Structure 1
């Protein structure tokens, strides 16, 4: 009795984790704007329809990649020992992962409450910043404002630097400039 040939799209293993890893690689190459579920499926060798068993849609794939990236950044920031060190680690992560950082900063904060894993990963980054940039005697509004200022300065500086708008000679110069700004100097 002849056997049927094996389907090329059938896979064992953790399809969701493999899809997130593949999506992150694709984003690093071409950016998140161009990513499709079909590209991710092709990269891991499954039918694109099978990814819908793990992700509701393309945005869910992007959120999953952003969640892992924020978690990774949060881990990096845990060992920051000063405001300057936090800024250096944050900026270097963003510059080393430019397209991934663009995805991370594209996630709408207003909808994060609908995605607890993403919200938790983002809050890990915020918590590490609060540890260094705020004090316990500040009100929650003052702490929130202090962190918003830090993120606005970081995001603005990184965005202008990568666009070639800031005339700084190196990444180290950018780090030094942003560290001075966030330290209030």
Structure 2
């Protein structure tokens, strides 16, 4: 009597981690707009219903992918020592991970209070910007405005550059221009 081969979809090890890894790769390849739980389940070899044990719905999975991406960005910008270095690290991350960056910036801030892990990850990036750009500003309102200006400048510059609208010959030139703009804050 021969033993039955094990099913590839049975008792998956760490399904949440594997689903996040697969979803991150799929988002990076195809964007977040068309990602489905079925597609992720197929990638990890489980029934799509299994993912509902870890993610309430598709948006929860996208939030989890965005959380991990924000944590990666926070780890990168935490190494920055100057405004120019922060800007360079931020821009390089965004341009090297365009689809993930699009997902990250698509998460509505108003709903983050209902998602503490995502909110915490975003605040790590913001805290690093505060450390670099607002360390000499005493008023909390003025610090908040200074960091908001940085992010508006970065997001706008990155978006225009990625769309081919901004006339910058290279990523290096973009970083130099955005650094110059942020230095005047």
With the shorter chain as reference, the TM-score category is: over 0.9
How many residue pairs get aligned? The number is 185
| Stretches of 4+ aligned residues off by more than 4 angstroms | 1-5
Q: Which residue of 2 aligns with 1:133?
A: 133
Unaligned segments of structure 2, at least 5 residues: none
Q: Which residue of 2 aligns with 1:142?
A: 142
1:170 counterpart = 2:170? yes
Q: Which residue of 2 aligns with 1:67?
A: 67
Q: Which deviations, in whole Å up to 9, do the C-alpha atoms of 1:66-107 show, x marking residues without a partner? A: 000000100001110100000000000000000000000000
Residues 117-128 of structure 1 aligned to structure 2 (within 5 Å): 117-128=117-128
1:160 counterpart = 2:150? no
- Tell me whether 65-74 or 7-16 shows the greater mean CA deviation: 7-16
Structure 1 residue 118 displacement after superposition: 0.4
Structure 1 residue 10 displacement after superposition: 1.2
Residues 1-185 of structure 1 aligned to structure 2 (within 5 Å): 6-135=6-135, 137-184=137-184
Unaligned segments of structure 1, at least 5 residues: none
TM-score of the aligned structures, taking structure 1 as reference length? 0.96
CA distance in 2, matches of 1:78, 1:2: 56
Check conservation: 2:76, 2:89, Cα contact below 8 A.
yes
Check conservation: 2:27, 2:99, Cα contact below 8 A.
yes
From the superposition, tell whether residues 56 and 5 of structure 1 become closer, same or farther in structure 2 (CA, over 3 Å): same
Structure 1 residue 12 displacement after superposition: 2.9
Check conservation: 2:19, 2:41, Cα contact below 8 A.
yes
Structure 1 residue 11 displacement after superposition: 3.3
